[in-house]
Structure 1
Amino acid sequence: MKRLSALFRPLALCLSLISASSTFAAQPLTVGLIPAEDSQAMLENSKKVIDSLQEQLGMPVKPFIATDYNGIIEALRSKKLDVAYLGPFSYVLATSIANVEAFSVAETKKTGKSSYKSLIIVRKDSGIETVPQLKGHTMAFVDPSSASGHLFPTAGLQKQGIEPSKYFSRVIFSGSHDASILAVANKKVDAAAVADRIFAAAVAKGIIKQADFNIVWTSPDIPESPMVWRKDLDPELKKKIATAFANIKNVEWGDQGVLNGFVPTNDAAYNVVRDTAKILNLDLKAMK
């Protein structure tokens, strides 16, 4: 009997490994997406990236879109998400309350860079051409945690001695860059702070016409929105995820347009965002 047991032990071990592998493959990888656009558009525009990940990893990949940035951060903190696409500032906020780190960032074919800018836009027929002319007008930001849709433009305005809450007659948070652009286009607000690539995407889609707008302020370069993962993910799974993202090239991804690919990044790349938070005297943990 002992001899038979010894003979069957390798077979039992093999079956155990197969079973474990099958279980691992059957578990979905959950990926959170920031609400840069409306939920349905975000899902449709991320489909090629999600499909590529699923094919390369050999496991289901389940996308998740929250109604705001904090929804994604909370899902990471509570381990309901494995990987997420976050804005630069929402990433810095996430690192203060969740066990996450940036590992990859998209490089767009259009710019060949992994950075972008914030714009303050107005309707051309408003007659506004400079920041000083915005005084007493209405302003739309995207989300309190949005880098290009709130924090960088606020820091830029403060450098000019402008406190938005006192300078504008009314300030709103629209919830998405698209909503802010349309708010200006439809004369719901006089000005809005948005990401340059999302504004360009709206022009390319024919949603708005470039000629109908003036750009009255442009930010310095902002590090592109990173892909982040929970630090406690299995190391082997992390390697597979990083390799899978590195292999995603020449596909369209939402407002990013066609990608050159995803390139490695790290936490230190977002220190410029932390520095901006210091300019604004922000308590990151208090913003959750």
Structure 2
Amino acid sequence: MPSIRRLPLRLAFLALAGCGAAGAHAQDACAYRGDLDAQYCDANRDLVADTPTDPKRLKDPSTLVFAFTPVEDPAIYEKLFRPFMGHLSQCVGKKVVFFPVQSNAAQIEAMRSGRLHIAAFSPGPVNFAVNLSGAVPFAIRGNEQGPVGMNLKMIVRKESAFQKLEDLKGKRIAHTSPSSNSGNLAPRALFPKIGLTPDTDYKVVYSGKHDQSILGVKTGDYDAAPVASDVLQHMTDRGVVKADDFRVLYTSEMFPTDAYAYAYNLEPALQTRIKQCFYDYKVPAEMAKGLGGDRFLPITYQKDWALVRTVAASAGELFTRDAFDKAASGKK
């Protein structure tokens, strides 16, 4: 089964490649950028793009565009975020619109091109968003105990014969997309240590999204799938699947859930207002039930995404344009 994510990735990378001239100019003026793409600079070495010092490069749009990570049907999250969109609009004094995206690549390209100003990125794609799109993570969902996290769960059909990970050798297993943390990078980093190596011990098939992996296991299209626990829980809560549809063969330690980020080149005063509007918001009950967490808590990419970067490094992944190019071409 071909990945539905491949075509959007290719198209997105073509758009990214078109920014080469601007990046070359930025490269001449920047002393240090680490893994960031050529149009960004990281003089303070905090791993995210610096806000431009040239006032001409700063943006103060009349309408702010927000997108939630495309893990499931965007319409579901557009409805959940409707109260927050109203709050954010009133709080910053600007119109705020929800932009439904169908793939991680499309979301990353939209922020890079300047069409997306604020976004929630999935744990793995956060790294690509930071390095290629100038995304600056600043918040995560949480509660009074702290940030809300998620686990990687390897699921199989309840009625299947699979009882342990080793039983999946030689089988067809759905990973979500190349940049996904729980859906691809974490399995590649963690499973070999417990005797199951992706692409060697089993055939990897990219499904495109966590919900498609979950539904694919339920219908028997895939023998198993590593999926994000929060997506599985949301689908169970809404009755899309049942908890007893699946058997969980493996549960990882906790990872951070999606990160909320703004575009690096927004006016500094606007950046400050956006952050404060998030931190001051009391998440209503319906939104909290659908997303998890009743508040937004401050984070930094350097500190709070260290585990995700470590897993990516263990899996041999680099979040550079070259790595994005390989993902776009379907190469590992």
Normalised to the residue count of structure 1, the TM-score between the two structures is 0.84
Structure 2 partner of 1:20: none
1:133 maps onto 2:163 in alignment: no
Structure 2 partner of 1:14: none
* AA matched with 2:300: N
RMSD (Å) for aligned C-alpha atoms = 2.1
Structure 1 partner of 2:237: 204
Structure 1 position 114, deviation (Å): 2.6
The 5 Å alignment of 1:181-260 reads 181-251=214-284, 252-253=286-287, 257-260=291-294
Q: Where in structure 1 are there 5+ consecutive unaligned residues? A: 1-23
CA contact (8 A) 1:198 1:255 kept: no
1:51 maps onto 2:86 in alignment: yes
Specify the SS of the correspondent of 1:122: strand
CA contact (8 A) 1:25 1:60 kept: no
Specify the SS of the correspondent of 1:102: strand
The 5 Å alignment of 1:1-288 reads 27-107=62-142, 113-168=147-202, 170-251=203-284, 252-253=286-287, 257-268=291-302, 269-285=304-320, 286-288=322-324
Structure 1 position 128, deviation (Å): 1.0
Cα distance in 1 for partners of 2:166, 2:61 equals: 57
Residues 107-166 of structure 1: per-residue CA shift (max 9 Å, x gap): 158x85332111111111002121001112211111211112211122111222432112
Structure 1 position 46, deviation (Å): 2.5
Which stretch shows the higher mean deviation, 268-277 or 52-61? 52-61
Cα distance in 2 for partners of 1:83, 1:228 equals: 6
CA contact (8 A) 1:105 1:224 kept: yes
Structure 1 runs of 4+ aligned residues shifted over 4 Å read: none
User: Relative to structure 1, is the Cα distance of residues 201 and 220 closer, same or farther in structure 2, using a 3 angstrom cutoff?
Assistant: same
Cα distance in 2 for partners of 1:231, 1:197 equals: 28
Residues paired across the two proteins, number = 263
Residues 75-116 of structure 1: per-residue CA shift (max 9 Å, x gap): 11122211111012211122222322111111158x853321
Cα distance in 1 for partners of 2:240, 2:149 equals: 24
Specify the SS of the correspondent of 1:232: coil
Cα distance in 1 for partners of 2:153, 2:93 equals: 40
Specify the SS of the correspondent of 1:37: coil
Which stretch shows the higher mean deviation, 62-71 or 253-262? 253-262
Higher helix share: 1
Cα distance in 1 for partners of 2:154, 2:143 equals: 22
Cα distance in 2 for partners of 1:151, 1:70 equals: 16
Structure 1 position 247, deviation (Å): 2.2
Specify the SS of the correspondent of 1:190: coil
Which stretch shows the higher mean deviation, 119-128 or 86-95? 86-95
